[in-house]
Amino acid sequence: MSRFNEEMKVIPRAAWYVATVLCVVLPILAFMYWALVVVPEGASRFPWFPFLFPGVLISVSLFVFILLIGYIAGDARRRGMRVVLWVLLGIFIPNAIGIILYFILRDPLLRRCPACGVSASSAFSFCPSCGGAITAACPSCRSAVEPGWAHCARCGATLRTA
Q: Does residue 60 sit in the same domain as residue 120?
A: no
Q: Does residue 102 sit in the same domain as residue 144?
A: no
Mean pLDDT taken over the chain: 84
DSSP symbols for 92-133: HSTTTHHHHHHHHHPPPPPEE-TTT--EE-TT-SB-TTT--B
Q: Does residue 120 sit in the same domain as residue 78?
A: no
Per-residue model confidence as pLDDT tens digits over 61-117 = 999 999 999 999 999 999 989 999 999 999 999 999 999 999 999 998 888 888 888
Residue 147 Rama label (left phi>0; alpha psi -120 to 50; beta): beta
Q: Are 102 and 108 in contact (CB under 8 A)?
A: no
145: containing domain: 109-162
Sorting pLDDT into bands at 50, 70 and 90, what band is 162?
very low
CA distance 16 to 22: 10
Q: Does residue 129 sit in the same domain as residue 79?
A: no
Q: Does residue 37 sit in the same domain as residue 114?
A: no
Q: How many domains does the chain have?
A: 2
Q: Does residue 122 sit in the same domain as residue 73?
A: no
- pLDDT, greater one: 121 or 63: 63
Q: Does residue 51 sit in the same domain as residue 96?
A: yes
Q: Does residue 28 sit in the same domain as residue 69?
A: yes
Q: Does residue 85 sit in the same domain as residue 116?
A: no
Mean pLDDT of 9-18: 95
Q: Does residue 96 sit in the same domain as residue 141?
A: no
Q: Does residue 81 sit in the same domain as residue 144?
A: no
Q: Is the pLDDT of residue 20 over 80?
A: yes
- What pLDDT was estimated at residue 39? 64
Give the domain-ending residue among 74, 92, 107.
107
pTM: 0.73
- What pLDDT was estimated at residue 73? 97
Q: Does residue 120 sit in the same domain as residue 96?
A: no
Distances (CA, A) of 58 to 62, 67, 82, 105, 153: 6, 14, 30, 28, 51
